[in-house]
């Protein structure tokens, strides 16, 4: 493949098809959701990998936050794009750009508590 012809969306399609062929349904679902979100962000226009840059990634991050996506969703989508990009670099479909993902969020956050307080557990025990 010629690197100027390969788009991010084409790479997503290749990887999603491969994941489905290997019955990796959950991972394929995440890749598909990321592809859908990014396609909506670029108004369904194809983005050549050579045009992927940190400014586009930052605008995508902001777009997701404006749509009330959680930070963990933003992180998942950005990490998925990073994975697709690295795969394209490995396939020599894109050139490596150092620190391309440095200024976008790829961490995890505990937005809310997932465990019960001790007092709540005690209350539940007393009720049984």
CA angle 106, 107, 111 (to 5 degrees): 125
Domains of the chain: 8-127 (1.10.150)
Confidence of residue 113 (pLDDT cuts 50, 70, 90): low
pTM as predicted: 0.84
pLDDT at 117: 83
The residue that leads in pLDDT, 109 or 14, is: 14
pLDDT band at 94 (very low <50, low <70, confident <90, very high): very high
Distance CA 114, CA 18 (A): 35
Query: In this structure, are residues 6 and 88 in contact, taking their beta carbons and an 8 Å threshold?
Result: yes
Per-residue pLDDT reduced to its tens digit, 28-72:
999 999 999 999 999 999 999 999 999 999 999 999 999 999 999
Query: Over the chain, what is the mean pLDDT?
Result: 93
pLDDT at 121 over 90: no
Report pLDDT for 5. 82
């Amino acid at each position: 493949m010629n690197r100027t012809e390969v788009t991010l969306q084409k790479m997503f399609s290749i990887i999603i098809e491969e994941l489905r062929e290997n019955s990796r349904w959950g991972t394929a679902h995440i890749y598909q959701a990321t592809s859908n979100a990014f396609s909506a962000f670029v108004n369904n226009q194809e983005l050549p990998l050579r045009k992927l840059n940190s400014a586009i990634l930052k605008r995508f991050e902001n777009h997701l936050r404006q749509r009330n996506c959680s930070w963990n969703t933003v992180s998942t989508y950005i990490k998925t794009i990073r994975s697709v990009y690295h795969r394209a670099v490995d396939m020599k479909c894109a050139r490596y750009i150092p620190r391309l993902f440095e200024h976008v969020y790829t961490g995890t956050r505990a937005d809310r508590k997932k465990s019960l307080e001790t007092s709540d557990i005690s209350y539940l025990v007393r009720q049984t």
